[in-house]
Structure formats: structure tokens, C-alpha cells
Amino acid sequence: MPAIDFPYLGFATSEGTILKWLVNVGDSVRKGDDLLEIVAEKAVAVVVAEEEGILQAIYAEPGAIVPEGETVGWIGTVGEPAPAHACRILGWEEEIAPPPPDLARRLAGTPTKMTPLPSDREPSGHEAPPPVRPIGRLGKAARSFLKGQIRKVTGLRMTKAWEAPKVDLFTDVDFSRVVAHRQQMKTRGLQPPSYNVYIAHAASRAFEVFPDLNVNYIDGNLVPVDGIHIGVAVALETSLVTISMKDVGGLSLEELQKRFRALIKKAAAMSLSRDELYGSSLTVTNLGEFEITGFTPILNPPEIFILGIGMLRERVESRDGEFTTVPYSTFCLSFDHRGVDGAPASRLLRQIKHNLERYE
């Protein structure tokens, strides 16, 4: 169809912002050409053309906040006029561009509407959503706006997460074997994976043991996650994003490390796609580097589990009649009680603990 619709992106948003049009009215476009850059939640993406033709109309200028599915432009053929259309604009991001005077008057007193509700609904009354792809290198203006957007969306998502009946489970994990393995790699002149990679690997193996726990809680329903996907929270200056490593079930530690490093680079460049931000089975969040001994993390909807990691410490224990120093960390598994009960959640945490303590 010739309409250019704002894509249905699912997960935690129902609207987004027009960042920049990449073609002008009157330009010829081919199927697959880049049409416009959009911002939704914590990611910038490019909407591409579904068919060839002439860009005959732009209904939403840069800075406009529009709902998913709204027609923002029109592609037609020579001599075919674009239909008149009043685009539904929910608000305006003046960091990108000031709104036209007539629109500014209409929007006066109307706060920007953001709806961070978990949703994987199908587009109703629409054909397949427009194809999108992650953007490459961000311009200065886009990067600046995205930083502010990340902070705003984080606040909204955390507020939504507060509605969940959250339960916190604590355990101490012996890191002796993990520390020994990392030291062996250093001795061989290799760069060992970070502790987060070991923990993510242990979590992925735990979901292989308990596949029934690999679910999200969406609109009051338990929805199976298609594959084992582990998220890791990453601090970027004043912002927080979670990278989502997809289909990690059965991966070796080395393969997981390569995937982790690649996503960290994309996070630093603020070029993560939405698929690389959302949809995890569990998120790992580690504050050990800040000398935090333990904490209760906030859930990342629609995920049911989040695993908080404290700093690595040492304590003296008696083993086989002898005293020895043991490196350990305090783990807190927080879970949404609407989606899982305490006993199965405890089994999952125990399995993660055993995977690390019995690391081969």
C-alpha cells in the first residue's frame, strides 16, 4: 500500500517520534530505500519503502510524536495526487524542531503522551507493518535527543514495573572455580570473559534445565519466550540500557563473550536495534564494580526475572577441617509473583548458583 505508516514496534511503547526525513516530497524512491528516521523508546530505527514510486506527501514533520500505525507520508505514481490527511500528533519534541505555530496553539496545554505498556498486539486494520532496520552512525542531534529519551523512558518503565508484586530471593555464590578459570586464561595469555558473561552463561544453562520458566508476563498472560535470551544492564554515562543477547542456549562461553562484546560496542555507539534491547528471558544487572555488596533490582517488564549481582568479596570458611579463603558474591533474584511462584523461582536461582560453583 502507498501509505507510509509509523511501525508497530511492540514491547513497551505505542508511539514514537519522527526524527528526520531522508527524502523530500517529489523524490523518486525504490522498494527498500530509506525513508525516515524514527525514535521509539531507547532505539533509533529507519523506516524503508515497501514499494517504488514518488514521495507525494509528508504528513508528520520532524519532532512530531505520533501513535503506532499512524500514516505519516504517502508514496504514489506520477499524476496521482496524495489524499488529504490530518496526521494525529500527540505532542512535539522541541529538541528536534519547534512545532508549526498553528499546531503549537492546538497542542498548548496538552502534555506529551507516552504509554509504556507491554504489548505484542497485532496491528488491527493494517497490513504487515513497514519494515525497519537499525540506524548506523547517529548524528549529533539524534544522539543528544536519544540520551534524553532514554532517561525519560527508563523512568516510565520503572514506574510501570512498580505495579508488579515483586519478591526478592538472596543467596551467596562461591566464585572459586570461576576465578580459577579466569586466572588460567590469563596465564595462557588470553583475555578472560567478564564476570557478567559467566553469569549470563550460567543463567542460560539454567533455563535449559527449567524451560517452563522461560516466559514473559504480557497483558495478564504468560507468553513463552521463543529461545533463551539473556539481557545485561549496561550503564552509559548518565543513561541505562539493557542489551539482549538472543538465542544463547547451547552457546559456549567463548561464543557468548563474542556476542557480548559486539553488543557492548553497539550500545556505546547508541546504535542498538529494538530486538537487541528487549525480549529477554532474564536480565543480569551488576553493581559490583561500584562496591555495592547487594541490592534488590527493579523488574524490566515484560520479563519475570531480574538478577542483581553484588561485588566480589572474600571470607574465611572451614572446609575439610582447614580454613580457606573463598571469593563470593551476593545474588538477588527478583521475580514477578504474577508469573511464577517462590519455589520454582528458587530452583532457578539455585541452578544458576550451582552452574557457577561447579563450573567446568
Spot the catalytic one: 126, 181, 337, 354. 337
Which residues, 6+ apart, have CB-to-CB distance to 325 below 8 Å?
A: 314, 315, 316, 317
Residue with cell 521475580: 335
* Contacts of 288 by beta carbon, 8 Å cutoff, 6+ apart: 195, 309, 310, 311, 312, 329
C-alpha–C-alpha distance, residues 213 and 249, integer Å = 14
Q: Write the DSSP assignment of 98-155 as a string of letters.
A: PPPHHHHHHHTT-PPP-----B-PPPTT--SPPPEEE-SSPPHHHHHHHHHHHHHHHH
Among residues 269, 296, 10, the alpha carbon closest in space to that of 161 is found at: 296
C-alpha to C-alpha distance for 280 and 303, rounded to whole angstroms: 7
Could you confirm whether 337 is annotated as catalytic?
yes
Name the H helices within the chain: 101-107, 140-161, 176-187, 195-209, 253-268, 342-357
Q: Catalytic site residues?
A: 337
